[in-house]
Amino acid sequence: MSESRRHSLIVPREHGAWGILLVPLVTGAAAGIRSGGRFLPVLPLTVAVLTLFWLRTPLENWLGTTPMRARKPAELRLVRRTVLALALVAGAALMWTFRGGTEQDLWWIGIAAAFAFGAQALMKKRWRKARVAAQMIGAASLTLAAPAAYYASTGNWSQIAWALWAANLLFAANQIHFVQLRIHAARPISRCEKLSVGREFLAAQLALILILALAYSLGIFSGYLALAFLPVLYRGFAWFVRDWKPLAVRSLGWGELSHAICFGVLLVFTVIFGKA
C-alpha cells in the first residue's frame, strides 16, 4: 500500500472543511473568554471535535460508503485501527468535557451536528447531483463549533455565540459556492460568459450583502463583524472582471485557506475589542 493511498484512507480529504471547522471553533472560544469564560474547558471540546471530524473519513472508507474505500485486508486493518484509536481519544475527550455535569446543553449541539452529517451522507449517496446542498449541510454542522466553544467556555448561551455561527456559516456558504463556480468555469471563457456561468454566484454575493445589512440593522451583527466579509466579497466580484486563467486546484485551495484565515483573524479582533 502506497503512502498516498494510506493517507487518503484515513485523513479527511476536504482540506477546506478543516478551515470551516477551526475558524468557528477559535472565534467561539475567543468570544467566550472575552465574555469572562474559561479557556480550560475548551481544550477537551477541541480534541473531541477534531477527532470526531477526523473519524468520519476512515469510518466511511471502512463501511464503503464513499468511492475511496478500503478493499484489501491490509487497508481494512488500517482503517479499523484508525477508527478505534480516534474513537478512544474522542470518547476520553467527551468524558472530560461532560465530567462536571454542567455542560449538558452541549448534547443538543452534538445531536444537531450528528443529524446534519447523517443527512449529508444520505444526500451524497442517494442524490449525486446534490453535492453543493450536501456541502452546505455539512458546513452548517461544522460551524456549530462556534456556539459549542462559547458554551464550553462560559457555561451559557449568548446572542454573540449564535451571531458567530451565522457569520461563519455565511462565509462557508460563500466559499463553497465560489469553489463550485471555479470548477464549472474551468474551460476558457470570456468575461461575458463569466456573467452567464456565474449569475447564481453573483446573485448570492448580492444576497449576502443584503443579509449583512439586515443583520446589522437588526443589531444581530455589528458593523465591524460585517466588515470581516469585505475580503471575500471583493474576491468574488473581482473574479468577474479578471481575465480567465486555467484552474489550478492547489492554488485555489491555498487561496481559499488564506481567505478563511483572514476572516477568522478579523472575527477574533472583532470579538476581542468587543465590537461583535
CATH code (residue 153): 1.10.600
Residue ranges of alpha helices (H) inside 40-72 are 42-63
Instruction: List % helix, strand, coil for the chain (3-state, nearest 5).
Output: 75, 0, 25
Residues with Cβ within 8 Å of residue 129, at least 6 apart in sequence: none
Res 190: pLDDT: 84
Label residue 243 by pLDDT band (50, 70, 90).
Answer: confident
Regarding predicted confidence, which is higher, 70 or 91?
91
Q: Does the reported pTM lie above 0.75?
A: yes
Cβ 53 vs Cβ 21: under 8 Å: yes
What is the structure's pLDDT at 217?
A: 92
Please report the pLDDT score of residue 185 as a whole number.
Answer: 85
In the three-class reduction of DSSP (H, G, I as helix; E, B as strand; rest coil), residue 267 is classed as helix
DSSP structural state of residue 8: H
For range 194-216, the mean pLDDT: 93
**Cβ atoms within 10 Å of 92's Cβ, excluding its own:** 14
Q: Say which DSSP state 223 is in.
A: H
- Report how far apart, in Å, the C-alpha atoms of 163 and of each of 202, 226, 230 are: 24, 11, 17
Give dist(CA 133, CA 154) in Å, integer. Answer: 33
**Cell numbers at 144, concatenated:** 456549530
Mean pLDDT computed over 34-42: 88
Where does the pLDDT of residue 46 fall: very low under 50, low under 70, confident under 90, or very high at 90 and above?
Answer: very high
- 88/49 Cα distance (integer angstroms): 13
Q: Which residue has the higher pLDDT, 224 or 75?
A: 224
Please state, in angstroms and rounded to a whole number, the distance separating the CA atoms of residues 159 and 13. Answer: 33
Amino acid 228: pLDDT: 92
Residues for the chain: how many in total? 276
Number of domains in the chain: 1
> 61 lies in which domain range?
3-272
DSSP class per residue in 125-171: HH-TT-HHHHHHHHHHHHTTHHHHHHHHHHSS--HHHHHHHHHHHHH
Tens-place pLDDT, residues 113-127:
777 777 766 776 666
Mean model confidence pLDDT for the chain:
84
Nearest to 135 by CA among 48, 14, 7, 232: 14
Report the distance separating Cα 58 and Cα 188, nearest Å.
Answer: 37
The 8-class DSSP code of residue 40 comes to: T
